[in-house]
Structure 1
Amino acid sequence: MLQPIIAGVIGALTGFASSFALVIAGLVAVGASPAEAASGLLTLCIAQALLAGLLSWRFQQPLSFAWSTPGAAVLVAAQGVTDDYGAAVGAFLICGVLLTITGLWPALGRAMTRIPMPIAGAMLAGILVPICIAPVTALVEQPLLAVPVIVVWLVLLRLAPRWAVPAAMLVAIIGIVVTGADAVADAPLAPVITLTPPAFDAAVIVSLGVPLFIVTMAGQNVPGFAVLSTLGYREVPARAILASSGAATVVAAPFGGFALNLAAITAALMGGPDAHPDPAKRWVAPVAGGVTYVLLGLTAGAATALVTAAPPILIIAVAGLALFSALASGLVAAFEAPPTRVVAAVTLVVVASGVVVAGIGSAFWGLVAGAIVMLVTRTRAS
């Protein structure tokens, strides 16, 4: 059983190192204090560990879970929509309710999988474009810190792609400690789970909660199911996965857990042949990964101190490096079909613009604009 345990540990280390900074930056962007951001990171680690352990054991399948990395990008992109963290928590809770309903109500699940890919892919790409531009901006604004990060990422992208982003994050951490050691040392390093009562603001729910739900479904859950299917798992308990992750999000939301979902990238690490030659024994990998996530979550205070001590552009730059593959996938999905490329282009441009109208952010308006253009062009074609 050593092989799946090692696979689970590697998967958790890779998943955590690749995107924990984006999680913290996203929570801070919507009004969280450093302590609240640390609480969110720790809560997400614990919640996904419980989901992976319980469901993998129950169904004897390698069901790994994660926080929504595209969802964290939505939080970063929503900066300026709200600085009321309670309202953001209310949006997290609504996202969890929608995820739960998707699992319990098959019709909604089918509807979510039928969102036109040009619109869903373009919305995801539009959210990620400003973040993926950050490495270029960081090279200009913080060259001494950014150049080593990008060089290490580029070298390992060639030699060991799985470790490119974690290694880049490690180099960034070293740079942050060297240049901001006093700020890191003075920060509280022990994470404390903090309860934030939700507030329900219609504009924040529409501009944050709804896009968070859509990108979590389209950018994480749907690819996660596809990965499991590719690995040969045909009888995946989709309803249990969606309902459980949605319910876990509802419980975790007041503590900063913005969205939980089926993993995609780490699912391939923990559910493939590298985890164990026998598919029936691979379920141990997500369990081991969950334990590792809990241990990593205990470093949330230190991780938040590092992120808050760093130049913001450097953190977003590392996140941008981690999201290039997701951006590429979104662009391919958006522009693959020639007849709907204008629809995708309009959606992407509106979302990437970052405009806020009537207190509602650009992710929602991009969906609206894309839907209108698709309706008009389809009507004209008919």
Structure 2
Amino acid sequence: MNMAASNSEVPLERNEYNPTISSTMPPRPEVTYNWVDITPEFFNATKDLELGELLHDEMFGLFEAMSAIEMMDPKMDAGMLCNRGKKVLNFDQAVKAGALKLNNLTMEELVGIMDSILACLVTWLEGHSAAQTILTCLYLHKPLSIEDRALRAFAIQTLKLIACINNTVHSGGVFEEEDFQPALYGYSLCNEVSDVRAGGMMREVEEELQRSVKATRQRQGEDWDPKMQKQHEDAVALFSRIRFLRLFYAALVALMRRDVTAIPEAERCLASCTELVCIMQNTVNRGLRPHKVRDEDGNKDIYLEVLKISSLPNLELITRCPLRSIMTTRCNFSHPLGSLCGGLHYIIHVTYACFKGAELGNNFNQHHCWTSRILGQVVDL
């Protein structure tokens, strides 16, 4: 009785370890995998598929097909060892390491960076992902940290243009997922800077460059010094890009007002943009050419030394976006911009002439730029 009472006063813990029970449990079996090679059966099954056919389930749509990863492709397979060994730097790390210049950039460097940004912008407008186009430029990640006035103003105005195009396309609501990728993956579009301030920064840089163009111009009856001629051509190249971006953004904003009084303003801006595109095409060789550098171990560094265009900082986003990274080259970006300006000019002409919406839609299908087609429908609404 006393023994029973003592046991009732001191109850056993439920989680108390009992060596008698554990000793009777069998040891954990060793896990073995019986892999079976299905390579011959797989290739035999593919013989039943015709060219262009794809075997998939019901949940596999167009976006999943465009986002599929091709194994063992360094540009698509982020888990490859060759990608793991590469040195990836974000904006702050590149600045701290001295690999990203924020000030004292030459004219050639500025023209090269701006041409690369415009080429990325054109590629994004053609339906490619932002993570592989416009967001590959480190200067667009934190434009307010750039000390160079021209590059800071250009980067901020580019982000404003991206936001304007995104809002315009969303308001139209007539694009398919293979036409446009609106996702910006949480990147800031410099909303803390107002549109008026961004335009003022561009005007200040533009006026300064215009004075430089006039100061280095050849005097009548005098020989043109080669050094002065080079400064003049570099200033013209940089001036044309700054002015083009400012006027192109102003034209889009004027079109989105849906006001008849804004149409002449947009037409003047687009007319100037068309002329500036020709100057940009003729001065594309004034920009600094990108080239690869090597790190301390002798491996190829993926960063371009000055232009800082790389998709590796966005490597974790690759699995969430279609992998069609066919980047427009710096030598070919001017033609799509000229086509876009021509399409917008057609919108103004049709809208100002008060044509019917049906005629606008039928005739406008001749243009290849889907962005201008969407703008046409938005303005017509």
TM-score by length of 1: 0.22
Greater RCO, CA 8 A, separation 6+: 1
Instruction: Please say which structure displays the higher CA radius of gyration.
Output: 2
Task: Decide which structure has greater helix share.
Answer: 1
